[in-house]
Copies of this chain bind each other. A is one copy, B any other.
Amino acid sequence: MTRPQSPPLDGWTAIVLAAGRGTRMRSRLPKVLHPVAGRPMMLHVCDTVRAAGIERIVVVTADADGEVAEAVRAQVPGAAVAPQGEPLGTGHAALAARVAAGDASHLLILNADLPLITERTVRELTQRHLQEHAVLTFLTAYLEDPTGYGRVRRQNGRIHGIVEESDADAVTRGQPEVNAGLYAAEAEWLWPVLADLEPSPRGEVYLTDAIARAVDHPQGAEAYQVVESSEVQQVNTRVELARAEQIMRERIRRRVMLDGVTLVDPATTYIDAGVAIGPDTTLLPGVHLLGSTTVGGGCRIGPSAVVRDSTIGDGCQVGMSTLEGSELAERVTVGPYCHLRPGTRIEADVHLGNYVEVKASRVGARTRVGHFSYIGDADVGADVNIGAGTVTANYDGATKHHTTIGDRAFIGSDSVLIAPVELGADARTGAGTIVTRDVPASARVVGVPGRIREPGEGV
């Protein structure tokens, strides 16, 4: 996906805290690897940080070689991994990034379970930090239900500290401004502070305690209040995961609608972040556009179509069908109940009717496959007619073989083409023919097994 990139933030390093166990997810998968809109939440955070102009990222993980560390190495090019070892609090986690952060002058520290944070918010927070010359600037949010978050204490409007919920009195608990878990800090000031913080009775060091230190510093602490409080939705349970998923999907839906795509029922239209859709395309309810899919303009997709990692040209109509790794040219009609599997390439003006399966094949322009056919490992020419019940028998129990069908061929109903086999241009097969040998151009083949017939001979 291409996003507008902010200008680079020089001297900044982002520390992404991804070491938490996330036990409330009740999952074998580490929390930060659970996907939101098709992408692990940790990667959303890294994407956002990079889009906001911070290239250098250190991800603090539980272990040096666990699943999270592997995901960082595989999918966040250039990011460093800093294992925390023992889980001794957020302050301890941030400190684990010290060596990897190197000579950064400014640090952005944020939790990897905040997949909804936007580039704009990261940008605004860093700008506020730089403008105000604070030693630490953190993100706050006004929440209708602040339960579970640390509350912000202000005096005469100035930041006075953070009170953890467990320590808060009734008045403070009723206060809706919370600490959202996103910090910009001066590295030179922060590192020694983190090293010096007093552990809690449970032996943990909290990043929030650094705020108290910043308040006492002459340059002080600053806060930036997020405009859209849904951005700071934390994900600790699958209920919160579902909520984050919904918020992210709604952002995408709104964007594509304003770009000229009709969603008949946005709530049941599922579009992954990387999908591009042309104007005047209509998506009916229950449509899923997933992965790296591109849809042209003037298409009509759905209802209940699933399209993954595919390209659909202008003016296509795709009914209730499943497309994976397929490419459709212009004005192709598909479905209902088709299954296009990876390696499918459908040329312009092709009609695929109902119950058509295509795999690793090309289907030439204007060809019609009306019903109940399996086209696998085949090259089908243009203007071909494939009758109902046609099967390319591509597997002999050991190897997959290839079928070639020439332009304008007419394949009769219930034909089986036993690969490897080649039918020439204008060839015809009778209904129920088992084609075991190549068929010359313009020849007609009928029977079980198929035999070439002279013109005028019967079935």
Contacts and interface: CB of A to CB of B under 8 A. Distances in A.
A418 interface: yes
Nearest to A435: B431
A267 interface: yes
Contacts of A245: 264-265
Nearest to A408: B397
Contacts of A414: 389, 391, 393, 414, 416, 434
B410 A391 contact: no
Given A260-B238, A263-B242, A357-B354, A434 B410 contact: no
A175 interface: no
B263 A238 contact: yes
Given A28-B280, A237-B258, A391 B413 contact: yes
B432 A459 contact: no
Nearest to A284: B288
A4 to B, nearest CB: 19
A267 B267 contact: yes
Contacts of A447: 448
Nearest to A306: B303
A266 B239 CA distance: 9
Given A263-B242, A319-B322, A416 B432 contact: yes
A27 interface: yes
Contacts of A29: 280
A286 interface: yes
Given A288-B303, A414-B391, A280 B27 contact: yes
Contact of A260 (B25, B413, B458): B25
B339 A336 contact: yes
A412 interface: yes
Contacts of A267: 267
Contacts of A246: 265
Contacts of A90: none
Contact of A285 (B259, B261, B268, B428): B268
A259 B26 CA distance: 7
B270 A241 contact: no
A395 interface: yes
A279 B24 CA distance: 12
A337 interface: yes
A262 B280 contact: no
Interface in A366-414: 371-372, 374, 385, 387-389, 391, 393, 395, 397, 410, 412-414
B258 A286 contact: no
B339 A322 contact: no
Interface centre among A279, A434, A459, by most B CB within 10 Å? A434
Interface in A233-259: 237-239, 241-242, 245-246, 254, 257-259
Contacts of A26: 258-260, 279
Nearest to A245: B264
A448 B262 CA distance: 51
Interface centre among A385, A430, A448, A449, by most B CB within 10 Å? A448
Interface string A308-339: 00000000000110100000000000001101
Contacts of A413: 391, 393, 416, 418
B357 A371 contact: yes
A371 B389 CA distance: 11
Contacts of A410: 397
A127 interface: no
Contacts of A292: none
What 5 pairs between A and B have smallest CB-CB spacing? A26-B260, A238-B257, A393-B413, A432-B434, A416-B431
13 contacts: A29-B280, A241-B257, A242-B266, A265-B270, A270-B285, A306-B336, A337-B337, A339-B354, A339-B355, A355-B357, A374-B388, A385-B397, A389-B416
Given A27-B260, A239-B258, A270-B285, 17 more contacts: A242-B264, A242-B265, A265-B268, A268-B285, A288-B303, A304-B320, A387-B393, A388-B391, A391-B431, A393-B413, A413-B418, A416-B432, A418-B459, A431-B434, A434-B459, A448-B448, A449-B459
